[in-house]
Amino acid sequence: MASHRKSRTPGPRVAGIRTPALATAALTSVALLSQTADAAPSDDGKPSLEEVEKKVDDLYRQAESATEKYNAAREKTTKQRKRVDTLLDDVAKRTQRLNEAREELGSFAAAQYRTGAGVPDTATFLLADSPQDIFDQSQLMDRMTGRQKEAVDDYVTQQSATMKKRQEATQSLETLTESQGDLRTAKATVQKKLTDARELMAKLTAEEKARLAAIEKEKQQEAARKAAELARQQAEQLKAREEATQQESGTSGGAGTSESSGSTTTPPADSSYATKAEKALTFARAQIGKPYVWGATGPDSYDCSGLTQGAWKAAGVTLPRTTYDQVDAGTTVPVSQAQPGDLVFFYDDVTHVGIYVGNGMMIHAPKPGTYVREESIYYDGESSIHSVVRPA
């Protein structure tokens, strides 16, 4: 399947997208790992705990990436299947009309046989290999009655249209077959990555699993600290906007305002957006505790983009199915100006998404084996954040 991701140039990002700031959470995690795990494989050739953790994380990331490819392939396959069904229905109807036109020509032929009339043999047209064969016999057409010509014209029209639709249906069936192959490939890839991750985790001892849990807890504590820091920044920005608005209302001919830092900022979302966002968040909160299942769109389970799509659908906004398309379904805003309802995307390949709830927190379906939950947008480190998008 041809990739539809956008090519991305590495390097610093602007407007709050992947800033070059130090990835504090990631560095903390590495430091902890160096304290609690061997950095190199053991003498018996067994991978170190650090290597296992990295490998498992990579496999889950790859599985999530494959899931989005699966979602795209499934959506494409569904659309193509509907098109094929529509074309086949059309072919059936046109074939019926063609048969009716053929029967009418046959009635003329039968009448000629009974009466021995000297008009051209209408049955000749029923034996023609193509509509063009009929038109080539123009001398016969000239000798036909008006009703016979109408019958032939109708037959030619129906035959041509039916042949065209049959060709379209055949081509669509071929495309559908290719898409179904892509779908099977994506599904197999997801299953393989998940199986590999489970097998790696199964090889860990109880002590190693406990150490991994401790490392994860430290990472989440750092993520919570970063979320609190963002919440303070946003509160300061809100206060600065309110003060600037008050100052502007007290003067005439004001030239507009900006943040207290003097930088240009994205205008806050309007009240209509806030109303829709609240509906989306109400839906998302109701899904907390439901399992992550790759390819799922509810109501009992979700993957990451299935959850955000369902949340905004509850607010009357239709989002595309995949993260690759959802990231283009709105206006990009700086992380510092994220507002409740905004979509937070992760990683350079844009394979994960959550819905922002405020104070540096989001609701998302993290990965296989987990449940929909609320946690810091820095759950995988500051550097993992790709962008924030406000749905249109």
Give the catalytic positions in this structure.
304, 352, 364
- What stretches of 269-329 show up as alpha helix (H) in DSSP? 271-286, 304-314, 323-326
Angle between helices 49-115 and 304-314 in degrees, nearest 10? 60
Place of tokens 């990579």: 58
Rounded Cα distance, 126 and 152, in Å: 9
332, β-bridge pairs: 389
Strand bridging mode 343-346 / 385-391: antiparallel
Place of tokens 């080539």: 136
In angstroms, the Cα distances linking 223 to 230, 338, 381 are 11, 17, 7
390, β-bridge pairs: 331
Strands of the 385-391 sheet, one edge to the other: 330-333, 385-391, 343-346, 352-358, 361-364, 373-376
